[in-house]
Amino acid sequence: MSSSPGLLQPNTRFRDRYRVLRVIKSGGMGAVYEVLDEVTATPRALKVMLPSLLDSEELRARFALEARVTGSIESDHIVRTSDAGIDEATGTPFLVMELLRGEELGSLIKKRGALPPEDVALYLFQASLALDKTHAAGIIHRDLKPDNLFVTVRDDGSPCVKILDFGIAKVIEQHHASTLTRQMIGTPVYMSPEQIRAERNVGPRADIHGLGHVAYTLLVGETYWAEQAESIPSPYLLAAELLRGPQEPPSVRAARRRSATLPKEFDAWFFRATALKPDDRFERASAAIDALAAAFGVPLPRVPRIVLLPDRPPPPAGPSPTAPTQPSQAVQAAGFADVPTVTVPELVKTPVSRHSLRPHPAPSPLPPSRPESSRPEIPPEPSRPELSQRAPLSGVAPSRTTPSLGEPSRPSLGEPSRRPGPEPTSRRERPPQRRFQVRADTTTGVLHVKVWGFWDVDEGRAYLDDFRSKASTLLGLGKPWYVLADIADFPPQRPDVSPYVEQTMAFAAGNGMRRAANLVNSALSKMQISRLSAAMGLPEYSFFTTEADALAWLFKG
């Protein structure tokens, strides 16, 4: 057997038990195969992952715990795991699962367009039953999207939805948290605000938020955020928009963009499901889908419901059975591909194709509120999280400090001797990465800054030191100095990195910087720049799309 998880050949055996039949899916983190369990003569799906994904004892322990806990939950709507572990010979993590025949909902809507409400309600109702059980066990999926909902068919011909990717994405998220990438990890257009802010304690209601956006996508044929994802080129700017939460009623947006008709009752449901504050969302997944069915007046099957304890996030430390954020799913068998970037699925504008479903007796629905305003009445609107000032700098000290994305609190600024952010528990002796450039032009007095990609703590520290050093060169000239910051490719940073960026602002503001300009992507419209400046608390006139315009403003004001 090859030691590479991407190179298992047909007719080879894995762990002396599973004969490889074919490759189902391969990607940057591993591969999925159809195999034959020679002990039981049963076709299975074998998922193998890169050994580097679990390069510590803590991650290996978490992986084993995830597989055990998820495998112990009995549900028709969760892919069953029959075997899992670490292959001793190669160090390869693996999962053996039931082999599915069918199609992902993401693939289905690309082919057929929007789905009828009765289908959407039934599919999400089945998914909600699984989520109620996993949430009761302390497991959060964290990456609900149409590509992670797989539709198969029972023996009686009725559809059966299974949720993919329980049990591994959390450990993959932990792996990516310690590596650098220039792309946002996960599926941002379905992420809850607390996930975008990278909060430590993400609770079950993050999945409720995901269900809300999945429902819109299935009903309309594109994500709610498709317009922003198409027009905003920077992950940072997209995250800033997502953190504001939905503003336009979904019925209005669906009609404007796709000529789709959604009832006003859906607006109230959607705004509650995707509320910025977790406590303002539905308490349980099944309660959310009950309300969705009532909004459309479609029936759902009668089934007993489990009762959950009050919603609370999982404990912050130690191996905990929280589930995945990252992987992308495709084809039959819970396969994963490369981690997705900030893009929306390819959209196919085909006519709605209705599926024939057997009618089910309806429960007594709770009538939704019918507000007269364009935006439905919902619980008091959650406070909107403010956005971080990253590399952008203002020539005038801001009247308020704006916390960084994902940062619960801000350290005091302007103390050159302080090292912000937690020290890594174990740091390798290696030079820091340099995804930044700082250059002092002594002729013009401009400090040119370009920042991009995701940083670790070492790189944040190196940036702060380099900024101070180069700025000191200009300070020694005894004349006005300026900052020109290119932030077009600088996405949200980890909470332990953000303070280093913020200290550059404090240093500049406290050491005579006259003015600062920010370069953003040339594809941004004036409206988008206006939104960005308002969200960040910076003057709109400090944002430019060309260096010439920025320099002219710096010197002339």
* Residues with active-site annotation: 143
Of residues 451, 482, 445, the one with CA closest to residue 464 = 451
Q: Left if phi > 0, otherwise alpha if psi is -120 to 50, otherwise beta: which for 324?
A: beta
333 contact partners, CB below 8 Å, separation of at least 6: 24, 25, 32, 34, 45, 47, 97, 99, 100
- Structure tokens belonging to residue 373: 């305003």
d(CA 267, CA 384): 19
Residue-level length of the chain? 557
d(CA 490, CA 237): 9
Q: How far, rounded to the nearest angstrom, does the alpha carbon of residue 234 sit from its chain's CA centroid?
A: 15
- DSSP sequence for 133-185: HHHHTT-------GGGEEEEE-TTS-EEEEE--TTTHHHHHHHHHTS--SS--
- Work out the number of other CB atoms within 10 angstroms of the CB of residue 239: 23
3-state secondary structure of 127: helix
51 contact partners, CB below 8 Å, separation of at least 6: 5, 90, 91, 92, 93
